Amino acid sequence: MQTALHIYALVKELKDCLSGGRFISSEFYKKEREAYLLFKVKKGTVALGLAYHPAGFGAFVIPRSKISVKTKEKPWPFFQPAYGAEIISVKQLGLDRIIKIDLIDRPDIYSIIVEAIGPNGNLWLLDDKAKISATLRNKKYDAETPYNA
């Protein structure tokens, strides 16, 4: 299990890696219970991966070329409204295992929330008022209520 200190180190790595990059794509493999957020950065394409499998879960950063998905399942894209947006900040919310990635694609502003809390974690796309626009996993939410960690 990853602790808040693991997430702290991951956020530092993400800040260094993603600075000035763009959010270009996302992939979700339902059978494998893995999701990837893909970013175009100076050094190429990197992925923030999240595994939700009960036997092995966590969040990690990996070069896109190193991802090996062992399924013939076609990945499901998610968070398409934010594709092409520039990363403006990456931070950890308090000492929780929650990562916030702020994006801008003028005039739109988005935030991606990564809940790296084990097999029950989730990914959320928020608008500029912190209201939920989309979720990766099929969780109920009120689109008029701001996200609250």
Q: Give the Cα separation of 143 and 136 in Å (integer).
A: 14
Domain ranges of the chain: 4-135
When comparing pLDDT for 95 and 140, which is higher? 95
Using the structure block, give the residue that is written with the tokens 């800040």: 15
pTM for the structure as a whole: 0.87
pLDDT tens-digit map of 41-51:
998 888 888 87
Q: Give the Cα separation of 135 and 143 in Å (integer).
A: 11
Band of residue 4 on the pLDDT scale cut at 50, 70, 90: confident
Sign, Cα dihedral of 39, 41, 44, 49: negative
Q: Among the listed ranges 109-113, 114-118, 123-127, which one has the minimum average pLDDT value? A: 114-118
- Which CATH class, in words, describes the domain spanning 4-135? mainly beta
pLDDT tens-digit map of 67-108:
666 777 888 889 999 999 999 999 999 888 899 999 999 999
